[in-house]
Amino acid sequence: MFKKYHTIFSLIIIWAIGFIIYSNSFRGDFQFDDYTTIVSNPYIKNIYRSHELFTYSPLRFISNFTFTINYYLGKNNVFGYHLVNFSIHAVNAALIFILIRLLIQTPFIVRENKLFLLVVALICSLLFISHPIQTQAVNYISQRSILLAAMFYLLVLILLTKAHLDQIYTRKRSIFYLLAILAFPIALLTKEIIFTLPVAILMINIFFFTKKVRISYNNIAIFLPFALISGLIVFLLHQSLFDTPIPRLHYFLTQIGVLKTYIRLLVLPFNLHLDYNYPITTSFFNLHTIFSLLFLLLIISGGFFMFNKNRFISFGIFLFFLTLTIESSFIPLNDVIFEHRLYLPSVSFFMVIAGILQIITNKIHRNSTISVKLLWSIIVIILVIYTRITYQRNNIWNSDYTLWLDSALKSPYKARPHDGLGVAYLKQNKLKEAADQFQIAVFLDNDYFRAYNNLGVLYEYDGKLEVAEAFYRKSIEKAIHNSASTRNLENLQDRLKILQ
């Protein structure tokens, strides 16, 4: 009876626990980039002109279209947006369960206790849905793009794994393969991380269906259509993935340390916050970078070493680095670190956990002196800890005040958290507290034009129009293409003319 219904039973457990953990997140405010992506974004306001989303952001079309549907159904009611984000997160947890179950059935996985190995998939899914690192991707509505990208990423891998496992049934195999090809171009319109999927497809074939590492005609035949579609999408949409807000070398050197931080956050998810004050590394010759690189090389070496011993662990290690290549390599982004960038790579972490649990379950099968109860106790304790931290993080994400206060306390020497906290105070009509935070922001970063603009807004609201004008001009001086300050200054000047 359990064998027949264990999938449904497992999914109910995953979704029920996930819903309980995120039950306090559905009324959270719009945060940070949500205002430009959703609240004040004219492109999502008319569902009948959704084709214009291609003009706005072609490689995020699917993600933005879901915002269009949300807006059509509930305008700016945050509940609907949060409900969709959580639902996608729950689907992803289910897809991880299915993918691990399928990979357990592949030829080169040692499985002495088949029933308990099925439980491994459930454990990994529960760890995924409850892990505190996911709170940013789930609560930060604008990051629905990474949730959708992960969903399509996992779906394509599942379809191709099914195609491999059904080699005897040629027609069935062709259907799974065709569905994967059809899903892929849709996936490419969610987030740029999908461009790593063709390599992940090749890795699935090599790690789970090939005895030795080799590139065969079969591997190339599977890989090539996805690679060609990727190139075609980039060509047709004229998108560049190579803007350089930070020098490439400096960004790459910084990411060596960031990758180590990401691994630490997966293993020990403590001290989480929105806006990390991570220093830019400009030279390889510093101890932090050298030790971080040695640490990463040790892990990569472990991936090679484990290939013939445990394919789950080996695959998870290499998939982790693969899924971070877009955002943590030579392609500079404005911010060097964000927790939501770990959402899809965290799947790799749980693949490694699956491999470790596979080893443990095989030992339990051979040696009854190893306590199953002890293993379950450890897992339950970890889940309880994860649940507690995740629930607390959801509370912090519920308002811009608590979010930016948390970040300002954890990144006290970075301007943006203080500016964000100042805006939160301004919304509460606490002008003195807001002014103090804006002043701290410009003290920490004299070129932070947003804080000057916000000081202008504050003093204009307080009736000190000449002071406000000076701050607007200062903001424009720091960033000449700053449209918000330019617009605010023009409106203020019109107001001054009327008063004269």
Residues 378 and 472 in one domain: no
Residues in Cβ contact with 6 at an 8 Å cutoff, skipping those fewer than 6 apart? 118
Question: How many Cα atoms occupy the beta-carbon half-sphere of 19 within 13 Å?
Answer: 9
Mean pLDDT within 86-106: 93
pLDDT > 90 fraction of the chain, expressed in percent and rounded: 60
Both 389 and 447 in one domain: the answer is no
Distance CA 137, CA 430 (A): 30
Reported as a single tens digit per residue, the pLDDT across 45-55 is: 999 888 888 88
Sole residue written with tokens 């770990």: 342
- Greater confidence (222 vs 260) lies with 260
pLDDT of 441 strictly over 90: yes
Final residue in a domain of this structure, among 369, 397, 425: 397
- Identify whether the C-beta of residue 249 lies closer than 8 Å to the C-beta of residue 285: no
Rounded to an integer, the average pLDDT of 192-210 is 88
The verdict on 392 and 404 lying in the same domain is no
- In 3D space, the residue among 344, 369, 343, 370 whose CA is nearest the CA of residue 357 turns out to be 370
Percent of the chain with pLDDT over 70: 87
> Tens digits of per-residue pLDDT, 424-435?
999 999 999 999
Q: What is the pLDDT of residue 492?
A: 87
Q: Identify the domain containing residue 440 by its residue range.
A: 400-499
- Mean pLDDT for the stretch of residues 407-435: 96
Same domain? 252 vs 189: yes
Domain check: are 130 and 79 in the same one?
Answer: yes
CATH code, domain carrying 485? 1.25.40.10
- pLDDT for res 64: 93
Buried b (16+ CB within 10 A) or exposed e, 266-278: beebeebbbbbbb
pLDDT of residue 409: 97
**Model pLDDT, residue 371:** 60
End position of a domain, from candidates 347, 373, 397: 397
* 229 has pLDDT over 70: no
Most confident of 4-8, 424-428, 462-466, 475-479: 424-428
> Which residue has better confidence, 387 or 312?
387
Question: How high is the pLDDT of residue 1?
Answer: 46
Contact 146, 340 (CB under 8 A): yes
Q: What is the pLDDT of residues 353-381, one digit of tens each?
A: 888 887 776 676 655 555 667 777 888 99
- Note whether 202 and 131 are same-domain residues: yes
Ramachandran region, residue 133 (left: φ > 0; alpha: ψ -120 to 50; beta: rest): alpha
Domain boundary at 347, 379, 397, which?
397
Token pair belonging to 417: 């958290």
Task: State the pLDDT confidence band at 262, using cuts at 50, 70 and 90.
Answer: very high
Say what the pLDDT of residue 120 is. Answer: 84
| Total tally of structural domains belonging to the chain | 2
For residue 106, which phi and psi values (nearest 5 degrees)? -75, 160
Q: Are residues 367 and 419 in the same domain?
A: no
Amino acid at 462: D
**Taking a C-beta distance cutoff of 8 angstroms, is the pair 79, 26 a contact?**
yes
Higher-pLDDT residue of 72, 376? 72
pLDDT band at residue 459, thresholds of 50, 70 and 90? very high
Higher confidence at residue 444 or residue 376? Answer: 444
pTM metric for this prediction: 0.91
pLDDT at 114: 60
Is 70 exceeded by the pLDDT of residue 73? Answer: yes
Q: Is the pLDDT of residue 387 over 60?
A: yes
* In a shared domain, residues 249 and 356: yes
How many whole angstroms separate alpha carbon 484 and alpha carbon 115? 60
Structure tokens, 306: 């484990």
Same domain, 335 and 431: no
User: Over 70: is that where the pLDDT of 113 sits?
Assistant: no
- At 14 the pLDDT is 94
350 and 450 in a single domain? The answer is: no
Question: What's the start-to-end Cα distance of the chain, in Å?
Answer: 84
Mean pLDDT over residues 128-137, rounded? 97
Contact 292, 258 (CB under 8 A): no
pLDDT of residue 165: 83
**Furthest-apart CA atoms within the chain: distance in Å:** 90
Q: Do 451 and 381 belong to one domain?
A: no
pLDDT of amino acid 172: 80
Q: Are residues 28 and 144 in the same domain?
A: yes
Residue 182 above 70 pLDDT? yes
- Per 3-state DSSP, what percentage of the chain is helix, strand, and coil (rounded to 5)? 75, 0, 25
**Gap between the Cα atoms of 97 and 14, Å rounded:** 9
User: Is residue 193 over pLDDT 80?
Assistant: yes
